[in-house]
A and B are shown apart, each in its own frame.
Chain A
Amino acid sequence: MLKPDAAKPKAALLFGSFNPLHEGHLAILRYLAEHRLADELRLVVSPQSPFKQGQGLLDNAHERLDAARAAVAQTGLPVIVSDVEFDLPEPRYTIDTLRHLQRTEPDKEFVLVMGGDNITALDSWHLADELLRDFEIWVYPRPGTDAQPYVDAFNARPCVKGVKYFKDAPQNNISSTEIRARKVLTYDVIIIGGGITGVGVARDCALRGLKAVLVERDDLTVGASGRNHGLLHSGARYAMGDPESARECIAENRILKQIAPHCIDACDGLFVTLPEDDLGYQQRFIDACLAAGIDAAAIDPAEARRIEPSVNPDLVGAVLVPDASVDPFRLVFANALDAAARGAEILSYHEVRGLRRDGRRVTGIDVWDVRGKQEKHLEAPVIVNAAGTWAGQVAAMAGARITMYPDKGTLLVFGTRINQLVLNRCRPSSDADILVPSDVTTILGTTSQRLEPKEIPGARPTPEEVDLLLAEGSKLAPALLQTRILRAYSGIRPLIALDGAEEGGRHISRSFVLFDHESRDDVPGLVTIAGGKMMTYRLMAERTVDLICRKLGREVVCTTAEVPLPEAIARPERFGGRVICECENVREDEIRYAIDQLGARTLLDLRRRTRVGMGSCQGQLCALRAAQMLPEPDVRGFINERWKGIYPVAWGEAMREAQLAQWMYKEQNL
């Protein structure tokens, strides 16, 4: 046994994630302090990856640190809460941190404090021999484990500095894991739904200093926010029929171009009149645009053909408007990342199963942690229902009634970018009359079909819709018929009935609805924000958080119109390893990164994070390869999901893929 350096003051270190810090931790600190066993007590809080969400209650490492500091301060114990590990490179093993401390504070002797349940596995720790040789270890008892034999065994080994067992220290029956399962957490605001509306509200709350948590039952963007047309409307489409929406659109169009330029392709748009359309409509359309504040100018058909060669050459009129194209995934993730960076918690894979009530007031939510397989309870004075198409179901949990008009829209993705500008038909809005360029592809849409709520889960594109889209869309740009179709997809518009209105579909206002259920249904604590468009999310969030602030008596002004959004998911530029997905050039290391850091577990998760399966083979070559790396390799589900997009367009190139898929996956037993 090496002689301890008696001259040096001793610092005892308790390591942990402290998620949360609880009475069990405090009891051991109290014991050490009371018995003056060390000259200094330190709590070393370990950071976790910001993306490992949903594992604990406090997902943000800095929040855990602050919470630990606050809890320690309350006890008055002489304990230093240390964030030393926050700046150390990964992977951070205990021995590395100890060595670091030895280097930076050579005049101290460090002692490692651990629970009796940890000592049993100490041999499997990184460089355990070194740890035992160079550091004293203090063990406190934990219920259910008898640490004595382990302590004795370690002390019997040569080259062990010394393991002390405080057998008589008070035991505490509680563990963080149990607390996590039991504890009710309180916030200022709980937001239900991880679409653009929910993440927008979360970011606005965070910017105004409200403590917000967002719960999404699946992954972010699985609802309408990941299945829309990606058009940053100028408002022109609504100028004739819905001037209020038109004004909202043009205002938000200008703001988003300022705060999120990296999510937007400011390509402009054309409204074209074809020989079969009424040219008289064009002037009325321009007048309505100008009245709504939208810059709309007629241009010569020849000029239109010059700036947009793909347009139907027979056009008889064209109007230039400031339409643009927006990347929905980037916009959602940019909002979510910024909200999290500013202190909001984003809990994906957390499904709201019930609302907690106190009389008629809604006070919290019962949420099922899908991956942690446990129930959690969160409380807040205000709960925001941003569940999109499912908003009616959430409101019903509180006994409030909202009528939703789920409306299916189907779109077609083409394998090349056909048009440079957004192309619209200059006529009353109809099916298949918008062509939006989206990066290197073009998206044609959309259809409109009212669904019964029970039809929502099975909604998918049909071959009939595809025929309609092509017949109409090719009038705008004839080249569509010669262009390879990548796939079809459908989304569901969360249209909402205005109070008193009975009719839906395109006749319902595309503007949004903000319900204060306190005044509307005598259900205090619940607010619903729904309808609208992806591109008006910021305004929707602003109005919602204004209402929340009034309710909480915290008047803070909104700054989302000025504070720019950060770049969406920062992806390390170079990943190595074997190529897994040839079409999108995704390598092994990127997949590993998505699994470890971005929480991907299934092939569908992976597709949203790495583009695996988005390219021209539509996942047929890479799915099996990628699946082998994943914790939940649901190849069958993935292939069926991709098939939904291919089967309605099964001719030409898509037929090749369809056939390859049949060969590859039918002959295997999945």
Chain B
Amino acid sequence: MTFDTLIIGGGHSGLQQGIALQKQGRSCLIVSTGESPRRFRDPEWSQEVERHRFEDLGGFWLEDRVLGGEFSGTNEGEILNRIFTESRGEKALDAEQFILATGSFYSGGLMADPEHVWEPLFGLDVFFEGGHKDWVRPDFFAPQPFMSFGVLTDAEGRVLRAGRPVLNLLAYGSVVSSRCAR
């Protein structure tokens, strides 16, 4: 089975992209694990319902954890060839186009230790500044710097890896730094 687009993360943004692409006639696979935090912000939104909409449009859903991927380099940038998942082991998944929609800290799309913020699946370039002291403000209701952290993208929404764009990997949703979000 081959797919036009492989979406990593079946939360709010992943499903939105999947539904939109299915409607355009592209065939999508969503690989996802866990619950989306969207329900906390929007009690009307249901992951169940959206997932059924996506599947009714012909989309495929795989409950699995993505562990990483394999890249190759070209002159213009990098290409993500395939990705590995927890339960498929050696049987990697490939697609022409990939979409990263793994969410932010809450969903594990971003991780932090006291000094760094990183994107755990592919080691993508991430926007953050300083160390943990600089990420938060003492007043809860003040703007919190960490809320703007996330992966960096180029003008076309492609993620960057060591400064070079990954030509077939777009990012959507809260994994993307609000500085780059479109």
Contacts and interface: CB of A to CB of B under 8 A. Distances in A.
- Chain B associates with chain A: yes
A660 B106 contact: yes
Contacts of A467: 114, 133
A137 interface: no
B113 A658 contact: no
Interface stretch (A90-98, A188-196, A236-244, A662-670): A662-670
A658 B136 contact: yes
B37 A651 contact: no
B146 A650 contact: yes
Contacts of B144: 658, 662
Contacts of B139: 640
Majority secondary structure of chain A interface residues (helix, strand, loop or mixed): helix
A311 interface: no
B106 A659 contact: yes
Given A651-B132, A660-B37, A460 B140 contact: no
Interface string B27-45: 0000000000100110000
A50 interface: no
Contacts of B133: 463-464, 467
Contacts, number: 64
Given A660-B37, A660-B40, A663-B41, A650 B141 contact: no
A661 interface: yes
A155 to B, nearest CB: 57
Interface in A631-670: 636, 639-640, 643-644, 647, 649-652, 655-656, 658-667
Contact of A667 (B41, B132, B138): B41
A649 B132 CA distance: 8
Given A464-B133, A656-B105, A663 B40 contact: yes
Given A655-B105, A655-B112, A463 B146 contact: no
A662 B147 contact: yes
B60 interface: no
Interface size range of chain B in the complex: 20 to 34
A651 B112 contact: yes
Contacts of A470: 114
Nearest to B103: A659
B37 to A, nearest CB: 6
Contacts of A667: 41
Nearest to B147: A662
Contacts of A664: 40-41
Contacts of B153: none
B146 A659 contact: yes
Interface in A460-512: 460, 463-464, 467, 470
A659 B105 contact: yes
B127 interface: no
Interface in B107-134: 111-114, 132-133
B147 A650 contact: no
A651 B113 contact: yes
A663 B40 CA distance: 8
Contacts of B135: 650-651
Nearest to B104: A659
A666 B112 contact: no
Contacts of B37: 660, 663
A463 B133 CA distance: 6
Contacts of B112: 650-652, 655
Contacts of B105: 655-656, 658-659
Contacts of A460: 138
Nearest to A646: B136
Nearest to A668: B41
A650 B112 CA distance: 9
B163 to A, nearest CB: 25
B147 A640 contact: no
A342 B21 CA distance: 74
A650 B106 contact: no
B53 interface: no
Contact of A643 (B104, B111, B114, B140): B140
Most A Cβ at <10 Å: residue of B40, B111, B138, B146: B138
B52 interface: no
A597 B132 CA distance: 43
Contacts of B88: none
A387 to B, nearest CB: 27
A508 to B, nearest CB: 30
Most B Cβ at <10 Å: residue of A651, A664, A665: A651
A644 B138 CA distance: 7
Most A Cβ at <10 Å: residue of B106, B113, B132, B133: B132
Interface string A607-645: 000000000000001000000000000001001100110
A650 B140 contact: no
A670 to B, nearest CB: 8
A620 to B, nearest CB: 9
B137 interface: yes
A659 B41 CA distance: 11
B140 A640 contact: yes
Contacts of A660: 37, 40, 106
Nearest to A657: B106
B169 to A, nearest CB: 24
A661 B112 CA distance: 17
Interface string B136-168: 111111001011000000000000000000000
Contacts of A640: 139-141
B41 A639 contact: no
Given A655-B112, A659-B104, A650 B132 contact: yes
Given A636-B141, A651-B113, A663-B40, 15 more contacts: A463-B132, A463-B133, A464-B133, A640-B140, A650-B136, A650-B146, A651-B112, A652-B111, A655-B112, A658-B105, A658-B136, A658-B144, A659-B104, A660-B40, A663-B37
22 contacts: A463-B133, A640-B139, A640-B140, A640-B141, A647-B136, A650-B112, A650-B132, A650-B136, A650-B146, A651-B112, A651-B114, A651-B132, A655-B112, A656-B105, A658-B105, A658-B146, A659-B106, A659-B146, A660-B37, A660-B40, A663-B37, A663-B40
Across the A-B interface, give the 5 residue pairs with the lowest CB-CB distance, nearest first.
Answer: A643-B140, A463-B133, A651-B112, A647-B136, A655-B105
